[in-house]
Chains A and B, each alone.
Chain A
């Protein structure tokens, strides 16, 4: 939301209402940010989203600067997760720095709940989810900024080694990013992390069923793609 865009176009005063300023140049950015935020679920399936994302990508540093307060200073909310996700869709090098700062922010303690109440701290949950998303988004940036790939790999390796909260996600994203080259990173990690490099495989007695099902599902997927989208959706 454009609280982000708003922060680009309208300086926000923490006391309450901000006074709009006339910054005509930023107005298109507001509009495109609105599209990117509101159409995030449809994502690249929407032409309008793709166009706006391209515009926002071209102004990534401005948006990252405007969003930094929201990502770093605010308590956990769905929106915080959402912004962390979107930064990964258009972010540049400054976005990697911002996302890393979010991951390194001290995690607040979960609020105590009454014994047996089964209450969970929603803000804490969203704070964790935002940090996890930050790792995913750092990796995501490599898909549209290939020139940053080496920096991103270094960042993910560091996260896998140094930040227990996101270790598992960092390994997962490294594997996705590097494919079979992932194995070359084995030497950077200790024996306690060896299992990340040894993919899980179901026991031998399940292999025949696995092969049959995989083939059946592949065939079904092929049929679905031939038929077009079966689920009703309105553009």
Chain B
């Protein structure tokens, strides 16, 4: 007696859709293929100018699309990890080594760079460039011991050092993703990264295509700090009414959420010596602009803290971790103490 299983039409449709998706996935191209053809970028046109004559790009994307821009903070010469395997191993130690999907991108070495503008252009390389801002913001660089107790402020005696260890210790896994996670195709409303966390699971962070190609490396670094605050600490966004970033907003500074942490890191990055060997004036300006942008657009309640108020953040980081982050909540001024555990 033959048994025939009759499939419900909806189940059949689902199976067909799954089969198509699996087939498409097998041939999924690298993220790099989504990049604008370098011949069409303005950077390329400028660099390739012969005798001072610029061959104007045919593609108009350079005019309005961020992908056509010159990502000056991604230039190979300004990112020391490119020259050192030890540095690359150190950067992988931020959870990238445990991450999924990075192998899909390996159309070239992480340090592959576009010849005209000397920009590192692989997703992994651009991720390294983001993390490089966390690492080289401290002059110890990869020599910094990231494994000490987060309460050891005699060792982590600047916020930048502390934040480096914070990111390292509170990240489990960082995944690459080719997804361009935007509202609609062509929309500028996009997710840069997403963190999945929960009581009974290992947290992970997904980095989207926008992370590599739409935002600069300083913003990438502050985004990492932001996401890590969601991860092991499980502090989620709870704001969103009347705030430009909407569901990515926090209710107030004293929730000590991801936006507060991102701003603290940007302030610490800004308040570094003018002759810092890694943080150039352009990067410092970018951090200042991003700080002000977050202050304006990512909290429901106006933020009282200003960049000038945070000028000692690299002198007494414990004050800012223990008290400043919670300081606009008069009912509970010490609820950040657990962060140092």
Q: Range of interface residues on chain A?
A: 35 or more
The minimal Cβ–Cβ distance linking A90 to chain B, given in whole angstroms, is 14
Cα–Cα, bound, A200→B310 (Å): 8
Interface string of A64-81 (1 = CB under 8 A from B): 000000000011111101
A210 close to B315 (CB less than 8 A): yes
Contact B286 A81 (CB under 8 A): yes
Name B248's closest neighbour in chain A (CB-CB).
Answer: A118
* Contact, CB under 8 Å: A172 / B306: yes
Question: A180 — which chain B residues lie within 8 A by C-beta?
Answer: none
Residues of chain A lying within 8 A (CB to CB) of residue B194: 118
Cβ of B278: which chain A residues have Cβ within 8 Å of it? Answer: 231
Interface centre among A44, A168, A224 (most CB of B within 10 A): A168
Known contacts A6-B54, A168-B292, A232-B84; decide if A115 and B247 are in contact (CB<8 Å). yes
How many interface contacts (CB-CB < 8 Å) are there between A and B? 242
Question: A157: CB under 8 A from chain B?
Answer: no
Inter-subunit contact A78/B69 (CB<8 Å)? yes
Interface residues of B in 267-281 (CB under 8 A from A): 273, 275, 277-278, 280-281
Give the interface size class of chain B.
35 or more
Q: Which residue of A79, A116, A196, A217 is within 8 Å of B247 (Cβ)?
A: A116
Cβ contacts A98-136/B at 8 Å (1 or 0 each): 000000000000111111111111111110111011001
Tell me if A231 and B319 are in contact (CB < 8 A).
Answer: no
- B73 at the A interface (CB under 8 A): yes
Residues of chain A within 8 A (CB-CB) of B244 are 110, 121, 124, 128
User: Is B83 part of the binding interface, using a Cβ–Cβ cutoff of 8 Å?
Assistant: yes
Chain A residue with the shortest CB-CB distance to B74:
A41
Those 8 A-B pairs whose CB atoms lie nearest each other, nearest first: A27-B52, A123-B188, A200-B309, A111-B189, A79-B69, A231-B277, A110-B244, A129-B289
Q: Which residues of B contact A (CB under 8 A)?
A: 42-43, 45-47, 49, 51-56, 58, 60, 62-66, 68-73, 75, 77-78, 80, 83-84, 117, 136, 139, 141, 157-158, 181-183, 187-192, 194, 210, 214-216, 237, 244-248, 273, 275, 277-278, 280-283, 285-286, 288-290, 292-293, 295-297, 306-309, 312, 314-316, 319
